[in-house]
A and B are shown apart, each in its own frame.
Chain A
Amino acid sequence: MSIDRHETNVRIDPLSGVSTTGHEWDGVEELNTPLPRWWVWTFIATVVWGVAYCFVYPAWPTASGGSEGFFGWHSRAAVEQDVAALQETRAPILQKIKNAPIDTIEKNPELLAAARTVGKVAFLNNCAPCHGAGAQGAKGYPNLNDDDWIWGGKLADIQSTIEHGVRWDADKDSRSGAMPAFGRDGILTPQQISDVADWVRTMADVPDALAPEPAGEKVYNENCAVCHGVEGQGNKAMGAPNLFDAIWLYGSDKPTIVKRISQGGGGVMPAWKGRLDDTTIKALTVYVHSLGGGQ
């Protein structure tokens, strides 16, 4: 049945004693029940609240940014406050880490736990892009969990590497040590490079290594032993890796080794001193050391 608004058939419902709105659908009539007063007031209060909110807090976009709100409240300021409060709660333990000589931290369970936590966060924020979230490394980026250290795995070595970086030109104390580009600069012939690669692979017991040409040993002794050692044991002072252990930074297959010999050089790590504060670097050092590779 259609609703006829012009028809004034407002009447009192006999059962409830309430007037009807005059609307009727198939014999069902709508009672004219007004909204409860508390409901109306609550509604008005929310409207007032909503309007007030728009002025008290930043709300409106303007040409140059946005409205500031009456109290100048700002989510960024709130975050900064929270961060400051957090730093305050952490200050005592950070102070202890700062004051403790670095090689005593691991002997103190409380400091070790704190340093590992702080270090891990710093690691994930800064180091993980290259070394991986678990410090497992990648091709060209050392695995920090193993016991093979190009620049040394003692606490002091790790700390120095983090502070000054590797081949980082902006830091004069940076680890430096360059492998010549034996192929590109024409120091060795392709044949010599191939020979020495075979020789290195045999000495390192790489499973698919071919029988070595004696020429390879000669090339090694004349060109490589100076840095990598007669036994291939490497030299940490120069960052010359141990060639005859089971760990390969770039890979142990022949093309990779040939490429390394031809092109020389090495990876670069930035210096973190100045970017991270000393306490964080200290905690980071302890964390990396505690991963299991530390010497």
Chain B
Amino acid sequence: MSTAEFAPDGDEHEPIVAPPHKVYPKKVLGEFRRIKWGIQLFTLTVYYLLPFVRWDRGPNEPSQAVLLDLQHRRFYFFFIEIWPQEVYYATGLLIIAALTLFLMNAVAGRIWCGYMCPQTVWTDLYIMTERWIEGDARDRIRKDAGPWTAQKIREKLTKHFLWLLIAWWTGGAWVLYFADAPTLVYKLATFAPGCGEAYMWIGIFTFTTYVFAGVMREGLCLHMCPWPRIQASLTDEYALNVTYRYDRGEPRQSVKQAAALRAKGLPAGDCVDCGQCVAVCPTGVDIRKGASLGCIQCGLCIDACDGVMEKVGRPPRLIGYDTEMNVKRRACGQPAIYKPIRARTVLYAALIAGIGGFMIFTLATRANLHLSVLHDRNPLTVKLSDGGVRNAYTIHVANMNPEPRRFVLEVAGAAGAQMEAVGAPRDAEGRIVLDVGADQTREARILLTIHGGPADRKPLPLEFSMREIETGRSVTARDAFLWP
């Protein structure tokens, strides 16, 4: 089997671009395969079932735990509700995600790629399906090379049908995050009108899932994904990577030769050159050539080699999560060192904790009420017939609570000003009262009139405040009163 030629210190006469080849990863069992299954089961379950989790927010709001309500511009995540003016939370999440990726990389290389990346998860699912229908690597190579028989056609059709089914289900789950899931499922199933957009997105995601996980597979990791390049520049000699311990494996030879050498008391490598590590690799990497851009750190070659080592009676982990530096150290007889705590991991962890903590703090202390004031610009001021001066403002009140609330509007800073709000009533005490519906915004036009005013005609700084009658809580916003 050919291999992707990415090894940095391989033969310098190798072509720069790998010739196209098809990777037939072989089935493997072992510790890392089990971990991969576990993570896969978890991530896929979360992805497919999360939209159906309910979360009661009261009668005025949707009761879906995770919902991106684009129409009403709200994002619901369990007890958190994000309004459009709070999208900076998304920025924070993205920064944390990037830093987490950096941290993972500093500790254990590209494990994100090997275990959690959607491309890996779905590709693995697709390969499992393929293996179930068409058999393991050897069968598939033989069948692909052979003539088109009825069985081969049947198998291929079944495989692609199942792949499309998974893809369709994947795209279907995607749209459920953007609308009430059970309702949408019902509407989609009954071809209710108005679901055109949902069908379109399902179609797009079906197509991309099928192409990415079924057709492109490792090609996407090797040629399209930016992360290998980025991570290559972020990694250092202390990061754990799937490593072939050539100090132990070389010189490689057959089991018999090794036994003969050892019998004579001569050194012999543990690698029996069986090629199992390459055979199971989903990206077609030969890990024995050293660190490689194509390796997604999935650990399957570790499982494969451990199986071989067990059979030939040698200790496991000829391939293992290790550092390039340790391999060299061992070769010189020095003990291996592992340093997960170093400047960069501490820095990443501290940044994650800091930004995360800050986000949690702002989320916990954020006001569920928002007020903004906009001064009329055109005209800035209005002269009234009795010589008074009036300024007009548009205020926006956002009530982020799931119940309707009643507020009193007040203004400080303009002594003797008369305030009026177009359309807003006054209560018995003459205060301007605004009712804002549950989870809604309300706009009001405020007119402030001053007779006389200061001689120097300097703008008066104002503070508008909205006070909730029931709780007494208030928010404020600043503006100014201008003169002609």
Pick from B266-274, B295-303, B335-343, B372-380 the stretch touching chain A. B372-380
B385 near A145: Cβ-Cβ < 8 Å = no
User: Known contacts A132-B378, A246-B386: does B423 contact A292 (CB below 8 Å)?
Assistant: no
Q: Which of A107-115, A216-224, A257-265, A277-285 forms contacts with chain B?
A: A107-115
Contact A146:B383 (CB < 8 A) given known A109-B423, A290-B422? yes
The CA-CA distance from A16 to B16 in the complex, in Å, is: 9
Complex alpha-carbon distance, A54 and B154, angstroms: 41
Q: Interface on chain B toward A: helix, strand, loop, or mixed SS? A: loop
Residues of chain A within 8 A (CB-CB) of B435 are 109
The answer to whether A147 and B384 have CB atoms under 8 Å apart is: yes
* Cβ A246 vs Cβ B422 within 8 A: no
CB of A195 closer than 8 Å to a CB of B? no
Q: Chain A residues near B445: list those with CB within 8 A.
A: 116, 290, 292
Q: Which residue of B lies closest to A14 (CB)?
A: B13
B447: chain A residues at CB < 8 Å are 292
Q: Are B378 and A146 interface neighbours, CB within 8 A? A: no
Contact B442 A109 (CB under 8 A): yes
Say whether A15 contacts B385, CB under 8 Å.
Answer: no
Query: Closest approach, in angstroms, between the C-beta of A286 and any C-beta of chain B?
Result: 9
Q: Count residues of chain B with CB under 8 A from any CB of chain A.
A: 24
Within 8 A of B (CB), among A126-167: 132-134, 136, 143, 145-148
Which residues of the partner chain B approach A133 to less than 8 Å between Cβ atoms?
378
Q: For A147, what are the chain B residues with a Cβ–Cβ distance below 8 Å? A: 384-385
Contact B379 A143 (CB under 8 A): yes
Among B13, B386, B423, contact of A15 (Cβ-Cβ < 8 Å): B13
- Does B403 sit within 8 A of A, measured CB to CB? no
- List the A residue with the shortest CB-CB distance to B20: A36
Q: Could you tell me the distance between the alpha carbons of A141 and B322 in the complex, rounded to whole angstroms? A: 83
Closest B residue by C-beta to A245: B385
A106 within 8 A of B: yes
**Please, how many angstroms separate the alpha-carbon atoms of A116 and B394 in the complex?**
12
Q: Which residue of A lies closest to B447 (CB)?
A: A292
Bits for B349-376, please: 1 = Cβ < 8 Å to A, else 0: 0000000000000000000000000001
- Interchain CB contact under 8 A, B442 and A145: no
Segment 245-259 of A: residues with Cβ below 8 Å from B: 245-247
Is B423's CB under 8 angstroms from A145's CB? no
B384 and A134 contact, CB distance less than 8 A: no
Residue in B382, B390, B425, B435 whose Cβ sees the most chain A Cβ within 10 Å: B382
- Are A246 and B378 touching (Cβ within 8 A)? no
Total A residues in contact with B, Cβ cutoff 8 Å: 26
Q: When A112-B423, A246-B385 are in contact, do A145 and B15 touch as well, CB less than 8 Å?
A: no
Tally A-B pairs: CB < 8 A. Answer: 65
Residue in A106, A112, A146 whose CB lies within 8 Å of B384: A146
User: Does residue B443 face the partner (Cβ distance < 8 Å to A)?
Assistant: yes
Does any Cβ of A come within 8 Å of B7's Cβ?
A: no
A105 closest partner in B (C-beta): B423
Q: In the docked arrangement, what's the CA distance between A15 and B379, Å? A: 77
Residues of B within 8 A of A108 (CB): 423
Q: How far is the CB of B398 from chain A (nearest CB, A)?
A: 14
Provide the bound-state CA to CA distance between A291 and B446, in Å: 10
With CB as the reference atom, state the residue of chain A lying closest to B12.
A15
Kindly identify which residue among A16, A107, A136, A292 contacts B390, using a CB–CB cutoff of 8 Å: A292
- Which residue from chain B places its CB closest to the CB of A133 in the assembled complex? B378
Which residues of B from 411 to 451 have beta carbons under 8 Å from A?
420, 422-423, 425, 435, 442-445, 447
Are A146 and B423 in contact, CB atoms less than 8 angstroms apart?
Answer: no
B376:A134 contact, CB within 8 angstroms: yes
- Judged by a CB distance under 8 angstroms, whether A242 is at the interface is yes
Q: B387 an interface residue at 8 Å Cβ cutoff?
A: yes
Contact A145 B443 (CB under 8 A): no
Beta-carbon contact of B387 and A246 below 8 Å: yes
Q: Which residue of B is nearest A137, CB measured?
A: B379
Whether B15 lies near A242 (C-beta < 8 A) is no
Residues of B within 8 A of A293 (CB): 382
**Please, which residues of chain B bring their CB within 8 A of the CB of A143?**
379, 382
Whole-angstrom distance between the alpha carbons of A263 and B385 in the complex? 25
Tell me whether A292 and B382 are in contact (CB under 8 A): yes
A139 to B384, CA, bound (A): 16
**Which of B15, B379, B422, B444 meets A136, CB within 8 Å?**
B379
Nearest CB of chain B from residue A260's CB, rounded to whole Å: 18
| Chain A residues whose C-beta falls within 8 Å of the C-beta of B378 in the assembled complex | 132-134, 136
- The smallest C-beta distance from B27 to any residue of chain A, in angstroms, reads 30
Could you mark each residue 82-121 of chain A with 1 if its beta carbon is under 8 Å from any beta carbon of chain B, else 0?
0000000000000000000000001111001100100000
The reply on B392 being an interface residue by CB < 8 A is: yes
CB atoms of A292 and B392 under 8 A apart: yes
A17 to chain B, nearest CB (A): 8
Q: Which of A109, A116, A134 contacts B377 (CB 8 A)?
A: A134
Known: A15-B15, A246-B383, A290-B422. 10 other contacts (CB 8 A): A113-B443, A134-B376, A143-B382, A145-B390, A146-B382, A146-B390, A147-B385, A246-B386, A247-B384, A292-B420
Which residues on A are within 8 Å of B, measured CB to CB? 15-16, 106-109, 112-113, 116, 132-134, 136, 143, 145-148, 242, 245-247, 290-293
Interface residues of B (CB under 8 A from A): 13, 15, 376-379, 382-387, 390, 392, 420, 422-423, 425, 435, 442-445, 447
9 cross-chain CB contacts under 8 A: A15-B13, A106-B423, A134-B376, A134-B377, A146-B384, A147-B385, A242-B385, A292-B382, A292-B420
